[in-house]
Every structure is written in structure tokens, then in C-alpha cells.
């Protein structure tokens, strides 16, 4: 008899976990449980009366690195798996890229002290003071090249940036980057989790900048004509013509086509391990049992805040 796996949470993490479970060599029976009546979590797109798309969550996806390439490739696979007869050429009508030569990609700003400050670009910009930074960023780069390798197995993004680039760059640039990309605090986020290539570059070459120049921390990337196009045109990020919510919608269609049971509007209110080794998930007036649980929600997000172990 096939194993049963319950996935808690219907955001992009729960959807992606369910997707990979269906593609395993011996796919289990998958049940996805979502407390709200919609899937997608933070990803939510709404269309205005004039047809304009507004994003209530993330507005774009970065294609850089192996993770970015896999995300772009996954969307293509989702469309095909859902029966959409599209080629990669046809998919271009759905993908909206911000290319490297676009003004939005070339001009970046920091909002500090009630004013917008353009970030320096090019060698000339690095060699002269650029508010809100008090010194040319060249000196931060020189500092980074001379700092010793860190010895801790992990640290916060802020600590890493402060140690290697100085407190000003850490507070102004890295904190803003973390708030924009992760909607989180650089003094709480992990450098290994959020910027693994920077951590690996330092560990391998003793310098973040030197390691990046030499390609440290890079992993093999998937390949397709769309990914090659993104590299050639130096995409800064990409979105979808119908909004990013097309991505969880495509995942939903794929999962249902593969027999995944999706229970929305049924928040989990308890989780307990039974004496025989099975897990029991309480859903108010009903319950489910499974061999394994994958939770993409915090423990406090389980409605009754009750996680019990029945086995002694």
C-alpha cells in the first residue's frame, strides 16, 4: 500500500513540496491541507476594472543562479503538465522580463533620510562618494578583500556584511536588500540560507568578492532555450502577464491532474503522533492520518497550537 503524506500549508512551499512528491520514483498518496480558501500564500494577484494587474505580494522573480533558473524552468514544466500546448517560444507571451538594459534594471535607489539616492554603478561610481554612503564603496570592497575568513558555521546577513564590508554598507545596503527580497530583517536572517553563494565564496577563497569572480559557490544549472534567453538578455527579474498568481494556479492544476487531494478552507487544529507510528491531523470535526507530515507553516500556525506525541 502506498504511503500517505500530508502537506500542511498551500503556499508556494507546500505546493512545491507536493509537486516534488508526485515526481518521486514511487509517488505516495498526497493530501494538501490549506487553512484559507485559496492557494498561493503570499503570492496574490488581482485585476483592476481597467484590466491592470496588481500584485499584493511579490512582484517578480529573479532568474539569477541555479535556483532562479530552476524556478523559470518549473513554470514551463507546469504549463506543459497542465495540458497547455505551448512551446518555449509561445511561453514568451506569458513571461514578462525586465532585461538588463531596461532603466528599471540599471537604476537602483535607496530611500534614506527622506530622500531617494541612486546607487553607484560602474567603476567611476565606486571611486567617489555617493550619498547616503559617507565614503566611496571602493574602500568597502578593498576592506572585503583583506578580511580573514569567518569561522562560524553560520551568522546573520547583517553580521556577515558588517564583518566583510563595514557597518555602513551592512546597515544601508544589505538591510534594504533583505527587506526588499525577503521582507525580513538582515539581523535575523541567515547568510547561509539567504545568500549561500556569498557564504560559500568566502569559505572557499577567503573573500566574498574574489570567490564570486572565480565562480565559487555556483552549482550546475538546468538548461532550456528560455533560460539561455534570460542569460543572454541579462534579465534582472521576470513576472507573468496574468500576475505571479499564475504560478500557484498552474501548480494547483498540475497537482489535481496527478491525483493529489487538496483540502482548502480547513485549517489544521492539532497534530499528534499515534502509538502505532502514524500521524493524526485534526481538522475541526474531522481528522486525517498519514505516514509522514510535511509542514510549511510555523508550529504556532496549527490552529489549536497542539502538537502531541502519543507514543511513549
Classify 31 as helix, strand or coil: strand
Cα–Cα separations (whole angstroms), residue 300 to 154, 271, 285, 297 = 25, 12, 20, 8
117, three cell numbers: 539616492
pLDDT confidence of 219, banded at 50, 70, 90?
A: low
In a domain, 55, yes or no: no
Residue 276 included in any domain: yes
Let me know if residue 66 belongs to a domain. Answer: no
Query: What's the grid cell of residue 38?
Result: 485559496
What is the model's pLDDT at position 161? 95
In the predicted structure, residue 304 carries a pLDDT above the cut 80: no
**Residue for grid cell 544601508:** 172
For residue 241, pLDDT beyond 90: no
- In a domain? residue 255: yes
Q: Measured on CA atoms in the order 67, 71, 72, 74, is the torsion positive or negative?
A: positive
Whether residues 196 and 280 fall in one domain: no
- The residue among 213, 236, 270 that closes a domain is 213
User: Could you tell me the CATH number of the domain that includes residue 139?
Assistant: 1.10.3110.10
* Distance, CA of 300 to CA of 17 (rounded, Å): 20
Least confident span in 119-133, 160-174, 181-195: 119-133
Flag whether 38 is in a domain.
yes
Residues 184 and 250 in one domain: no
What is the per-residue pLDDT for 190? 95
In a domain, 143, yes or no: yes
- Looking at the structure, do residues 254 and 204 belong to the same domain, yes or no? no
In-domain check, residue 295: yes
**Same domain? 195 vs 261:** no
Residues 203 and 269 in one domain: no
Does the pTM surpass 0.85? The reply is no
pLDDT in tens, 259-270: 999 999 999 988
Is the domain of 207 the same as that of 156? yes
Residues of the domain holding 287? 4-44+245-309
Query: By the 8 A CB rule, do 184 and 191 touch?
Result: no
Per-residue pLDDT of 271-284, as tens digits, reads 888 888 899 999 98
On whether residue 35 sits in a domain, the answer given is: yes
Residues 175 and 127 both lie in one domain: yes
Which of 30-34, 73-77, 84-88 is predicted with the least confidence, judged by mean pLDDT? 84-88
124 and 206: one domain?
A: yes
Same domain, 280 and 199: no
pLDDT value of residue 285? 84
Q: For the chain, how long is the longest CA-to-CA vector?
A: 68
Domain count, the chain: 2
Amino acid at each position: 500500500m502506498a504511503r500517505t503524506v500530508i502537506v500542511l500549508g498551500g503556499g508556494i512551499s507546500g505546493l512545491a513540496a507536493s509537486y516534488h512528491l508526485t515526481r518521486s520514483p514511487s509517488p505516495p498518496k498526497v493530501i494538501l491541507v490549506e487553512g484559507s480558501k485559496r492557494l498561493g500564500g503570499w503570492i496574490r494577484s488581482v485585476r483592476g476594472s481597467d484590466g491592470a494587474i496588481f500584485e499584493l505580494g511579490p512582484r517578480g522573480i529573479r532568474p539569477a543562479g541555479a535556483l532562479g533558473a530552476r524556478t523559470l524552468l518549473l513554470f514551463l514544466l507546469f504549463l506543459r503538465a497542465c495540458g497547455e500546448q505551448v512551446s518555449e517560444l509561445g511561453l514568451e507571451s506569458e513571461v514578462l522580463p525586465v532585461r538588463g538594459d531596461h532603466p528599471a534594471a540599471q537604476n537602483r535607489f535607496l530611500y534614506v533620510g527622506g530622500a531617494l539616492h541612486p546607487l553607484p554603478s560602474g567603476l567611476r561610481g565606486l571611486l567617489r562618494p555617493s550619498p547616503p554612503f559617507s565614503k566611496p564603496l571602493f574602500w568597502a570592497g578593498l576592506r572585503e578583500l583583506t578580511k580573514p575568513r569567518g569561522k562560524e558555521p553560520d551568522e546573520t546577513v547583517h553580521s556577515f556584511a558588517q564583518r566583510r564590508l563595514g557597518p555602513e554598507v551592512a546597515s544601508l545596503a544589505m538591510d534594504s536588500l533583505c527587506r526588499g527580497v525577503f521582507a525580513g530583517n538582515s539581523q535575523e536572517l541567515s547568510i547561509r540560507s539567504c545568500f549561500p553563494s556569498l557564504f560559500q565564496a568566502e569559505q572557499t577563497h577567503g573573500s566574498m568578492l574574489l570567490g564570486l569572480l572565480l565562480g565559487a559557490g555556483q552549482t550546475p544549472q538546468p538548461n532550456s532555450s528560455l533560460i539561455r534567453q534570460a542569460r543572454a538578455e541579462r534579465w534582472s527579474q521576470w513576472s507573468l502577464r496574468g500576475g505571479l498568481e499564475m504560478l500557484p494556479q498552474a501548480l494547483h492544476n498540475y497537482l489535481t491532474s496527478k491525483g493529489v487531494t487538496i483540502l482548502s478552507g480547513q485549517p489544521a487544529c492539532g497534530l499528534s503522533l499515534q502509538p502505532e507510528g502514524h500521524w493524526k491531523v485534526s481538522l475541526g470535526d474531522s481528522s486525517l492520518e498519514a505516514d509522514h507530515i510535511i509542514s510549511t507553516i510555523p508550529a504556532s500556525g496549527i490552529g489549536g497550537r497542539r502538537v502531541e506525541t502519543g507514543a511513549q
